[in-house]
Amino acid sequence: MNREDAVVSGQTRPQMNSDTVWESFYFPAEYCFENANNHDPFIFFVIEGKINVFINDVTKCTMHSKEMFLVPDSASFKIITSEPTQLMICLIPLEFLFSVQNLISKLVRQFESGQEAFEKLTVKKTILHFLSLLDTCIKEDCNSDYFFGLKRQELFVLLFFYYKNEDLSSFFSHILSKNLQFVKFVMDNYLAVKNVQELAIVANYSTSGFIKKFTKYFNEPPYQWIQKQKAKHILVEIGQGIKSLQEIASEYKFSSYQHFSEFCKKQFGFPPTELSKKWK
């Protein structure tokens, strides 16, 4: 095979998608796969094959079958295959890490500033079985974001069950060195405020200073990010059908039901009443 023969989940010419939780890549030998600016961290699993990894054009490490490594956020990477290789990739944005903060907090307590290094781990047998089933779902075009999100959470449960905390602390060292307290504050409070200005006040920042720091850690301005997150939560709430639409509008701090309806039209293309019918 030549470079044009690389296959990703049954498709040619691999393209990483910054919104896709899981991806599966199949590359021939001597294939160069690179990304100049990944905003979020990724975990790479070498299922089969052998690769050379370059991070920010500096770090070089040879990875073999059944090994995994982390590419930190705001880093460029280049992967060159030495033989036919299968890679699976899991996107782990910082906001996801705080959805599993009960696990991550165990690592934060062990992390020592300055210990950042490129670390790889052997993929345990049970996790290989987990990845094999997941790869089958990807090949069969399972299009459920909810399913793949749950599988990412399951991955972290498996990681913390099968690996020692000190090993995971080293593996995730680049992430743990970030300003996690700021990210945690945002995750704990963004749904409780009406707008960015109010969130900045609660954080004891000027609005401009807050926007600058937020954009640094979340890779997009706070207004756009908060709108996307609210949309995800609201869609789940409507789908569950437990609360009335008026209750949802009130809970998410909309000034009126009309404002809530306009939000749904903009985010989903339908008013809340039609969304509710589509879920039933």
Residue 186: pLDDT band (50, 70, 90) is confident
65 pLDDT exceeds 60? yes
Looking at residue 278, its pLDDT comes to: 78
Looking at residue 275, its pLDDT comes to: 87
Mean pLDDT of 146-170: 92
Return the CATH number of the domain spanning residue range 180-279: 1.10.10.60
**Where do the structural domains in the chain lie, given as residue ranges?**
3-176, 180-279
The total of other beta-carbon atoms located within 10 Å of residue 141's CB is: 8
240 pLDDT exceeds 60? yes
Looking at residue 6, its pLDDT comes to: 47
Provide the CB-side half-sphere exposure for 126 (13 A, CA). 10
Kindly report the average pLDDT of the chain as a whole number.
84
Q: Which 8-state DSSP code applies to residue 124? A: P
What phi, psi does 52 have (nearest 5°)?
Answer: -110, 135
Looking at residue 5, its pLDDT comes to: 43
Q: Give 25's strand partners.
A: 8, 87
Please give the CATH superfamily to which domain 3-176 belongs: Jelly Rolls (2.60.120.10)
pTM of the model: 0.64
Residue 117: pLDDT band (50, 70, 90) is low
Mean pLDDT of 179-187: 75
Looking at residue 3, its pLDDT comes to: 36
